[in-house]
Structure 1
Amino acid sequence: MSKFTVEETNLMCIYNTGSRADLLAELSEMQKHLEADETELLDLTKTVMDKLSAMNDLEFESLSAELIPDFEEQEE
């Protein structure tokens, strides 16, 4: 997951709905609600969206497995 910073990963975890396309849609929708002074979050969101757009769905699925822990597996 070295493609993404900790901040980028946190943002993706907050808005991840399970697919790359849906995550991009959620981030795009969130950007519409940002205030003019929230430039840092806007820049972070744009960077994440650029990186996600450069990936394919298979790469995202691999990344998503790292973002969402499998709690059932840890219980064993």
Structure 2
Amino acid sequence: MNTFTVEETNLLSIYKTDDRWEMLADMSAALPFMDGEMRAFTERTMKNLDALTEAEFAALCLEPAEDV
């Protein structure tokens, strides 16, 4: 089950790794360099990512959407 929007999936694909905690740490490290709207979006995405189980994370398809 994919609980992420296309935009969230694209964001997660930037930080793609096999380790959910590493991904969260990398995203957290980037937060100080983001503006308000992007920072809020990233924080919401991180909250959803943190709520996943390891099995749910392993099943995620983190490929960016292609340009239309």
Is TM (by shorter chain) over 0.5?
Answer: yes
Higher relative contact order (CA 8 A, sep 6+): 2
Unaligned runs of 5+ residues in structure 1 are 69-76
Q: Which runs of 4+ in 1 moved over 3 A?
A: none
TM-score (norm 1): 0.73
- Matched with 1:17 is 17
The answer for the alignment partner of 1:72 in structure 2 is none
Could you state the TM-score of these two structures normalised by the residue count of structure 2?
Answer: 0.81
Unaligned 5+ runs, structure 2: 64-68
Deviation, 1:6, is: 1.0
Q: Which has the larger radius of gyration?
A: 1
Q: Which has the higher helix share?
A: 1
Aligned pair partner of 1:51 in 48, 54, 62? 48
